[in-house]
Structure 1
């Protein structure tokens, strides 16, 4: 058989396998890919509500499969452009069809025998299938012991081709699968930067202070001319770029980074020159002032300025600071979550911190799931296990966490979920926890209850009031004050008639209408 044509056929088969593998993953977990436009979203995929960690892992796996697909497509295109000689040779040989058939038959038989000798099985050929990375020893290597019924179908989710992917290599424990930024190392590097006046040993900025001021690069105390500062900026930029890419591997996040860099280059002349109050323009690269814009424009094209721009680190620092600010704008949600988490962790006692760190589950546990391709119903087996062996012991009736288990008792107490609050305005609904109770005052249900009591606007004035009697009393007080204010406004303006008699404007208008003036 023609070597080139066989390679083309093999490549086409491999491309089909990759397409099918990607389709199977998206069909199994619809959260992996969401169309950007509603017209492309037909809502025909099942949403199994898989954990976020598992979704991100499969997104990274699909990204790797797409890279492989592009590589093999390029190889196939090269073969297709150079297979004319092979095709013409086959056409000449077709004159004697039986000889060609016998030749191809022998080659096919030889290839089959070679495959049998190598011991390549069907399961090993399908290296792109889910769960194909598993071997018999996988169950013994799992971090936590599982019940026998669970071990039957619970396997590592990845394919044999992407078996080297590990969640622990993609995310750290503190990043919580892209929810938080892990900037502890960069915080320590920021503390050690050279400064004109060092920090007081009793007033060293905390991690939370660093997060609040991470984009404030105008600190005059910092010595920016040192290599340490540029090294710190490069480290921070590298982390933010990698984080932005790994939280959305299928959205081509590199485009956003390229757009930010090109935007800086297109406006770099505006950033180099700053206009002073007297109208002069200061060049930050050459550290010189120019009286007019025309003089400054001609200076930008000069050899001296270009030479300084190439050798000056100030321009490089400006670029790094700009890109970091823009990336942190894109990651504003994650930065805010990190601040809140740092604040929450700071308020915990030492024992609570130890308990929380102890209860952190192993990241690699999320790489395992139930294989639904072996002829059994995973949902049914899970339900059977939960009814028999997986009965959750929850005598205090604590709320369930994201892992389906009751949250720790100390966390339940910390969030105030042991306290119950009643709201008569919402129809005697009960809310557990002060935070949830406080948030509900801005919800549509509570505002609807206020409208039914005759309140049309200014809902904020009735915040934290949950009893109907208190609401009605406050409403009456507000109406009385409003009437008094209107009366005061009417009585406040005084006018004079032609004879010099002083009276309120209201009395004046009434007398004028009656023709008494």
Structure 2
């Protein structure tokens, strides 16, 4: 009976212990597949939240700010403790008489809690939490003034793709709104796919942001947003040009980049951009009219204290958003790589193949646990897996020679299966590092050389030939009847052909 404060305390402790046992039981079950693991994580997260709520309730009870708990304990220790006991017993019997069907055992409720599916909403593009869905943010980026044209796979791989954005655009409200929306989505995706993790751990590295900002050590924000965006010499050396017409030869994009770095307006025709940039030749930015600057990007000497304070606040907000998005991007690194791979795989398919795949998915319905990605695949020959996650046919395995093993001593006796992989590895980082460690250039002369001894001997031979000495075939000269001079090799070749 939960009418007294002591009974509420006992009930809360019991509920905490019950939830802890349920969490242990849930973790003992082997969750197969991505879907089951995700559901298990959310079930455990829900039970942890319930334990937290009960613990907060117990904290308030033990604090006993109104002295109700102290009074109840004093009543039990008083002279009439037997009468108080029988009064409590009478209340318990009356309570159970009024509610005769009250369940004492909660075994069935526990089993239901372990089977309870936690609804987590994912879009179709997210694939149940396997991939990111950044299409809305991608379109917002490519259509913004601070954005640029690129494909979706490149955007996902380099998210948030803010490198090289001019300072004047970084201080604008659209840039901060773009970062805030992207950050909100990444936080939501992280919480939905990793319910047992905490964002506070991801943002733990941001604890020193205030100190770094005050010291001016935040990348790209050394002046804390208080100074000018940059100088003309840092972008284009205007002293090297004699007239506006020469500046036009740089092109509209190059002039736009230079104007943006200076905080000047970047619009207009090619001629207008060149004339606007030409104004800065030999003239300090502080001497230019405010109308030439982007709003909020004028030099510090032309801004009021209020404008300077607002610009510094905007710069700090933008820098903090950039750091947060970068931290979440690193935390979701594997998901980003999987998303890029999924996008590239879809781009490689034709429209008919996508339609056929969608029709097949509609007919098959949702994937069951046995059909999930972690299903055991019988592969006794250890054949490589194809794009669909299944072993490739054996005839294709033999056709590409994937049963042939090639070893390279320069790569640390690494094995390469198949002729194609073996030839490709000569341009990869492992082989290049091995050649660099031997002090040998990795050029075509050493193609298919895999032994360290052979590589060193060939390199010594090449060096000996290049040291010097007379080479008759190349350096000995011959003259024909017409006075034409040839080296020995060319002369003999032409003579054999009867051309001399």
TM-score w.r.t. structure 1 length?
0.56
Task: From the superposition, tell whether residues 257 and 364 of structure 1 become closer, same or farther in structure 2 (CA, over 3 Å).
Answer: farther
User: Which residue does 2:87 correspond to in 1?
Assistant: 103
* Aligned partners of 2:130 and 2:335 also within 8 Å: yes
Does the alignment pair 1:422 with 2:406? Answer: no
Once the 2 structures are TM-superposed, how far is the Cα of residue 11 of structure 1 from its aligned partner?
0.6
Taking a change above 3 Å as real, the CA distance of residues 110 and 219 of structure 1, as seen in their structure-2 partners, is same
Distance 1:364 1:14, change over 3 A: farther
Question: Which of 443, 452, 458 is the matching residue for 1:481?
Answer: 458
2:119 corresponds in structure 1 to 166
Provide the C-alpha distance between the structure 2 equivalents of 1:250 and 1:78, rounded to a whole number of angstroms: 26
3-state DSSP class of the match of 2:144? coil
How far did 1:88 drift?
0.2
Q: Distance in 2 between matches of 1:59 and 1:491?
A: 72
d(CA) in 1 for partners of 2:134, 2:359 = 22
Report deviation, 1:236.
Answer: 1.0
* Structure 1 residue 249 corresponds to structure 2 residue 195: yes
SS at match of 2:100: helix
How far off its partner does 1:423 sit? 1.8
Alignment of 1:102-181 (within 5 A): 102-117=86-101, 120=103, 122-123=105-106, 127=109, 129=110, 131-133=111-113, 158-159=115-116, 165-167=118-120, 169=121, 171-181=122-132
CA separation in 1, counterparts of 2:422 and 2:344? 19
Q: Which moved more, 1:416-425 or 1:17-26?
A: 416-425
Report the equivalent of 1:85: 71
**Could you give the per-residue CA deviations for residues 273-298 of structure 1, whole angstroms, max 9, x where no partner exists?**
5686799999x99646579xxxxxxx
Match of 1:328? 329
Residue equivalent to 1:260: 206
> How much does 1:184 deviate?
1.6
Shift of 1:343: 1.5
Change (3 A) 1:110 1:228: same
* 1:93-492 → structure 2 map (5 Å cutoff): 95=80, 97=82, 99-117=83-101, 120=103, 122-123=105-106, 127=109, 129=110, 131-133=111-113, 158-159=115-116, 165-167=118-120, 169=121, 171-193=122-144, 205-212=150-157, 214-217=159-162, 218-219=164-165, 228-257=174-203, 259-260=205-206, 263=209, 266-267=212-213, 270=222, 271-273=224-226, 287=297, 305-306=308-309, 309=312, 313=314, 315-358=316-359, 365=368, 412=392, 419=399, 420-425=401-406, 478=455, 480-485=457-462, 487-488=464-465
Give distance in 1, aligned partners of 2:467 and 2:78. Answer: 109
Deviation at 1:17? 0.4
Cα distance between partner residues in 2 of 1:333 and 1:408: 17
Structure 1 residues 191 and 114: CA distance shift in structure 2, 3 A: farther
Measured at CA, do residues 273 and 489 of structure 1 come closer, stay the same or move farther in structure 2, by a change above 3 Å?
farther
How many positions carry a matched residue from both structures?
382
CA 212–70 in structure 1, closer or farther in 2 if over 3 Å, else same: closer
Distance 1:181 1:486, change over 3 A: same
Paired residues of 1:173 and 1:363 also in contact (CA < 8 A): no
- Structure-2 residue corresponding to 1:150: none
2:115, 2:418 → 1: CA distance? Answer: 41
Q: Secondary structure at the match of 2:329?
A: helix
User: Is the deviation greater in 61-70 or in 106-115?
Assistant: 106-115
SS at match of 2:112: coil
Assess, with a 3 A threshold, how the Cα gap between structure 1 residues 49 and 213 changes in structure 2: closer, same or farther: closer
Q: 1:187 to 1:487 in 2, by over 3 A?
A: closer
Note if 1:26 corresponds to 2:27: yes
Report the Cα distance in structure 1 between the residues aligned to 2:421 and 2:137, rounded to whole angstroms. 33
Distance in 2 between residues matched to 1:57 and 1:158, nearest whole Å: 9
State the alpha-carbon separation in 2 of the partners of residues 352 and 175 from structure 1.
20
The answer to whether the Cα contact below 8 Å between 2:153 and 2:340 also exists between their aligned partners in 1 is: yes
Task: Report the CA distance shift for 1:479/1:329 in structure 2 as closer, same or farther (over 3 A).
Answer: closer
Cα shift at 1:400: 11
Please give the per-residue CA displacement for 1:371-391, whole angstroms capped at 9, x wherever unaligned.
Answer: xxxxxxxxxxxxxxx9xxxxx
Number of the residue aligned with 1:61: 43
Does 2:55 correspond to 1:73? yes
What is the aligned-residue RMSD (CA, Å)? 5.5
C-alpha change, 1:177 and 1:287, in structure 2 (3 Å) is same
SS at match of 1:92: coil
